[in-house]
Amino acid sequence: MKVPLRELPLKRSFALSADFVDGLVAGLPMRKALGSEASQAGEGTAELEFYMEGDNVFARGSLDAWVELACSRCLGNLRHSIQEELMVTYLPGGQVPNEDGLEADEEDTDEGDAVDTYGYEGEEIDVEPLLRERVLLSVPYAPLCKPDCLGLCSKCGANRNDSECGCDRKVLDPRLAALKDIKV
């Protein structure tokens, strides 16, 4: 997923294959929870427009993708959609801000707006780190198949979205157990 600088300005579409997405989400807990039921991990496309000013390259566009995960309550399959607007600046290697927000050859600057910046070396820009980061950051920590998902029964493990199992799920605080026998 590289873009040669000599071709700028240009508009390009990048396909996020099932293998690419699978490699990204393979280690995520909500992907592992699918176990052997896991089918295709997802796919998508990114449409980016690139232009250059001096040594800086600017990219703007969108990312449309989906990822298959497990619901954090019922462990059922869900398809999480990803729609992200992308605005990125690519800087030559020595000008990329370090962790302190300073450029490699800079002492201190005023803090400005946070801008997504990536570095590039040579005559090509690698878009893969940007797309990898955006897909991973858009995956929710605890995805839900639906907002009102009932989850699994704590007694028998049945999916409560499919049917009510009839288990008594009343949890009595053991410290208050003696009070239930008091007659008033």
At 1-27, the pLDDT tens digits run 888 888 889 999 999 988 888 888 888
Looking at residue 115, its pLDDT comes to 64
In degrees and rounded to multiples of 5, residue 150 shows phi and psi of -85, -15
Looking at residue 111, its pLDDT comes to 46
Looking at residue 60, its pLDDT comes to 93
Partners of 24 in beta bridges: none
This prediction has a pTM of: 0.73
Looking at residue 96, its pLDDT comes to 65
Q: For residue 133, what is the enclosing H or E element? A: helix 128-138
Partners of 83 in beta bridges: 64
- DSSP-H helix ranges across the chain: 18-25, 29-32, 128-138
Looking at residue 114, its pLDDT comes to 52
Q: Which residues in the chain come in under a pLDDT of 70?
A: 36-38, 94, 96-115, 169
The residues, ordered by sequence, that sit 6+ positions from 64 with a Cβ below 8 Å of its Cβ are 44, 45, 46, 82, 83
d(CA 145, CA 78): 5
